[in-house]
Chain A
């Protein structure tokens, strides 16, 4: 007789592994990747629209003139020329930054990881909008943070609720290490923080010395309405750490993002990054530089905005005709996502049925640390063409109607 542990290293793992869980998408990932499935699940950019001639030219330039540099180690905080490029990119959103405060990261996800690593001890409180980017929640839980959510509405996170939470925490003698928010076309909500709330939020941050982590991967993908100032540009008290990413505006495969942080924080994050990967890929940085220095990126973003606007329109139109009247959904002015809610219907259950009909979405509770969001779903329109979006939403609508009938039959 022997008691067998299925994992012989059991007992040796760090305590953080106990809370490390891959996302709720995991179980069904290989299914939703099958070609017959219309996946409205993954937030994949439309990389097939990247122009071939540009790709070739940039690679040729790197090969001709910067071969050794591209293959060598680089500075931990990234190449200076790319920092200058990033200042230019941020200027396109109306934000002026000193390139010296910019640090290149290996994708936006690393930026989240480095900031969390810099600030969070086990048990520390992170305030996050709810629903919040699932990848950030995964990082927070890896560092054993205690995540508290702030509800959102059509105008983004509700600042009054933030203040109420801060008051409650203060009563218990606690304060959060930082607030995490995606103010533009949030993932998964698709909503944008109003100008009034942006002002109010930076004011609250100043009054209460709250550090705000502003994650803005989608800001330049605005295809409707006027751009709003970043929190960073509204902040005068040094309370904002800004995270940027090239994943959605150039390519996620190029794994390039950045952090803009006040000097003191910047130093700490550099040390953290040294330990993580010494430097982000010089080759990839040169690729990004090639695209920005040539000015081609502006055209490319315009083109992406056209693609995504048309896909969003297709999704909103389909939702209106195919979803039951009880359902509500957000109307994004940019980005990749619509957040739909069908009151009382558990979307985790619904997903099994949806996959039977060859359509997939992400269940809402994947975007909360506290189990909320069970009657919502994230629908992504970024990677699927208009025709497939229409068909996918049609199938989903039929599945939802059927499920609602079942709820009624069971007296729910």
Chain B
């Protein structure tokens, strides 16, 4: 693995966009700080920007050679900031506008995956108008019967497991729906798949490739890999590379790469997969800007591949310029 982020780029003027006002602001601040330090260590001239309404003006003033988008959630991961950077003709890291839109909307992403023949748990999706204007609540029993219990209820466009609820019984569904609808106007009701939680990171340093698979094992007391266990050191154990038979590893990697390609991603991404007992890797979602915090899985995966955090950040940064 080369060091594309080495001396050759020394002095390149880049901006790191982080913070912003999504509910994942804190995670983004954490990712952003680490990215800034790593880029500086690699000789980039870095201007950090905590994103607010002055963003465009600042970018026009600074005229960076490129932008590292270290934002998570709405605004940063949904194509919004990407669109602005397209207009300003500034190269940026990660997926483009269309891919960001596809991946951020879990419902859209799942439709695309289904069409591409990639396994993703059975689902239904509603926006709140279906409930407010069309009486969708009377379908909830049917949905529970169709998907089987428990049902996982998620906001269509929210990261970090915010607003995710489990309905153990059909009568728990309305409550779970309200909670998820508090985070987004559209929600996903998904069949619950029990199995091992795998995080598969993809980087694109010329051609997309998979980093070693990370298995997340939440400590007892957490229902699943929830928000708290994601961002609290010591709440989750990670095994990297995950202990999988070679043919299973191969299959998981193919599914992850297939997801990356089906959604048209660029630069880097993380695919979250549940491996069920029968060995089927079910894709839950793809994050176009995975967390790069101290407790995130992508840096662990990179390290297992012999890439330091600085290497990883430099590879991602340079992918913006291709």
A residues adjacent to B (C-beta < 8 A): 1-7, 9-10, 13, 27-31, 34, 36, 346, 349-350, 352-353, 355, 403, 405-407, 409-412
Instruction: Mark contacts of B12-44 with chain A using CB atoms, 8 A cut-off: 1 yes-contact digit, 0 otherwise.
Output: 000000010101011001000000000000000
Contact B25 A31, beta carbon cutoff 8 Å: yes
Can you sample 21 A-B contacts with CB below 8 Å? A1-B239, A1-B243, A2-B239, A4-B238, A6-B236, A6-B237, A6-B294, A7-B233, A10-B234, A30-B25, A34-B52, A36-B21, A346-B179, A349-B163, A349-B179, A353-B182, A409-B131, A409-B132, A409-B137, A412-B174, A412-B178
**For B163, what are the chain A residues with a Cβ–Cβ distance below 8 Å?**
349, 352
CA distance A297 to B242 in the complex (A): 64
Would A406 and B132 be within 8 Å (CB), given that A6-B233, A27-B26, A353-B182 are in contact? Answer: yes
A405 to B132, CA, bound (A): 8
B292 within 8 A of A: no
Q: Which residues of A contact B19 (CB under 8 A)?
A: 30
For residue B241, CB closer than 8 A to chain A, the reply is: yes
Q: Is B300 an interface residue (CB 8 A)?
A: yes
A7 adjacent to B182 (CB under 8 Å): no
Minimum CB–CB distance for B204 against chain A, Å: 24
**Nearest-CB distance from A285 to chain B (Å)?**
36
- A410–B137 CB distance below 8 A: yes
Question: How many contacting A-B pairs (Cβ < 8 A)?
Answer: 87
B251 within 8 A of A: no
A-B complex: 9 closest residue pairs judged by Cβ atoms? A7-B234, A349-B182, A7-B233, A410-B174, A409-B131, A4-B238, A409-B132, A10-B234, A6-B295
How far is B238's CA from A411's CA once the two chains are assembled, in angstroms? 41
Contacts A6-B238, A410-B137, A410-B178 given; indicate if A352 touches B183 (C-beta within 8 A).
yes
Query: Besides A4-B240, A406-B132, 9 other CB < 8 A contacts?
Result: A3-B238, A29-B26, A352-B163, A352-B183, A403-B178, A410-B137, A410-B174, A411-B137, A412-B178
Contact of A410 among B52, B131, B294 (CB under 8 A): B131
- Are B178's CB and A406's CB within 8 A? yes
CB neighbours (8 Å) of B162 from chain A are 352
Do B23 and A355 touch (CB < 8 A)? Answer: yes
Which residues of A have CB within 8 Å of B233?
Answer: 6-7
Q: How far is the CA of A352 from the CA of B21 in the complex (A)?
A: 12
Q: In the assembled complex, how far is the CB of residue B229 from the closest CB belonging to chain A, in whole angstroms?
A: 10
**Cβ contact within 8 Å between B21 and A34:** yes
Which of chain A's residues have a CB closer than 8 A to the CB of B177? 410
Expressed in whole angstroms, the Cα–Cα distance for A346 and B181 within the complex equals: 12
User: CB-CB < 8 A to B174: which residues of A?
Assistant: 410-412
Residues from 127 to 143 in B contacting A, C-beta threshold 8 Å: 128, 131-132, 136-137
Partner of A352, one of B23, B128, B131, B237: B23
B138 closest partner in A (C-beta): A411
B227 at the interface (CB under 8 A from A): yes
CB distance from A361 to the nearest CB of B (A): 14
A350/B239 in contact, CB under 8 A = no
Query: Which residues of chain A are within 8 angstroms of B182 by Cβ–Cβ distance?
Result: 349-350, 352-353, 403
Q: Tell me which residues across on chain B come within 8 A of A409, comparing CB atoms.
A: 128, 131-132, 136-137
Asked if A5 and B234 make an inter-chain contact with CB atoms under 8 angstroms apart, the answer reads yes
Give min CB distance, B265 to chain A, whole Å: 26
Q: Mark B160-187, 1 if CB is under 8 A from A, else 0.
A: 0011000000000011011101110000
Number of B residues near A (Cβ < 8 Å) is 38
Which residues of the partner chain B approach A34 to less than 8 Å between Cβ atoms?
21, 52
Q: Are B178 and A346 in contact (CB under 8 A)?
A: yes
Shortest CB distance B23–A (Å): 6
| Partner among B128, B235, B243 whose Cβ is within 8 Å of the Cβ of A406 | B128
Q: How far is B227's CA from A395's CA once the two chains are assembled, in angstroms?
A: 27
Query: Bound complex: CA of A3 vs CA of B216, how far in Å?
Result: 10
Q: Which residue of B lies closest to A27 (CB)?
A: B26
Cβ B241 vs Cβ A28 within 8 A: no
Give the CA-CA distance A29 to B23 in the complex, in Å: 10
Residues of the B chain whose Cβ atoms lie less than 8 Å from the Cβ of A9: 234
**CB-CB < 8 A to B239: which residues of A?**
1-4
Which residues of B are found within 8 Å of A3, using beta-carbon distances?
237-239
Contacts of A349 in B (CB 8 A): 163, 178-179, 182-183
> Do B237 and A5 have beta carbons less than 8 Å apart?
yes
Residues of B near A13 (CB, < 8 A) are 234
Q: Are A31 and B21 in contact (CB under 8 A)?
A: yes
Q: Which residues of B contact A27 (CB under 8 A)?
A: 23, 26, 227
A interface footprint on B220-263 (CB within 8 Å = 1, 0 otherwise)? 00000001000001111111111100000000000000000000
- Residues of A within 8 Å of B241, CB to CB, are 1
CB distance from A395 to the nearest CB of B (A): 15
> Which residue of B is nearest A353, CB measured?
B182
Nearest CB on A from B67, distance (A): 21
Interchain nearest-CB distance for B280 vs A (Å): 22
Residues of A within 8 A of B236 (CB): 6
Separation of A254 and B169 alpha carbons in the complex (Å): 53
B residues less than 8 Å from A36 (CB atoms): 21
Residue from the list A2, A28, A29, A406 in contact with B181, Cβ < 8 A: A406
Give chain A residues whose Cβ lies under 8 Å from the Cβ of B137.
409-411
CB of A31 within 8 A of CB of B132, answer no
List the B side residues contacting A29 at CB < 8 Å. 26
What is the bound-complex CA distance between A405 and B175, given in angstroms? 13
Q: Which residue of A lies closest to B295 (CB)?
A: A6
In the bound complex, how far is the Cα of B235 from the Cα of A13, in angstroms?
Answer: 13
Chain B residues lying within 8 Å of A350, measured Cβ to Cβ, are 182
B178/A2 in contact, CB under 8 A = no
Contact string, B169-211, partner A, CB cutoff 8 A, digits 1/0?
A: 0000011011101110000000000000000000000000000
B102-135 interface (Cβ within 8 A of A): 128, 131-132
Query: Of all chain A residues, which has the CB nearest B23?
Result: A352
| Chain A residues with CB under 8 A of B295 | 6
A342 CB to nearest B CB, Å = 13
Cα of A3 to Cα of B241 in the assembled complex, Å: 8
Contacts of A346 in B (CB 8 A): 178-179
Looking at A1, A353, A355, the one whose CB has the most chain B CB atoms below 10 A away is: A1
The reply to whether A30 and B29 form a contact with Cβ atoms under 8 Å apart is: yes
CB neighbours (8 Å) of A405 from chain B are 132
Residue of A nearest to B294 (CB): A6
Least CB distance from B253 to A in Å reads: 16
Measured in the bound complex, the distance between the Cα atoms of B174 and A4 in whole Å is 39
- Alpha-carbon gap, A210 to B29, bound state (A): 47
Report the minimal beta-carbon distance from B61 to chain A, rounded to whole angstroms: 21
A410→B29 CA distance, assembly (Å): 36
Indicate whether A407 sits within 8 Å of B178 (C-beta atoms), given known contacts A6-B233, A30-B29, A352-B162: yes
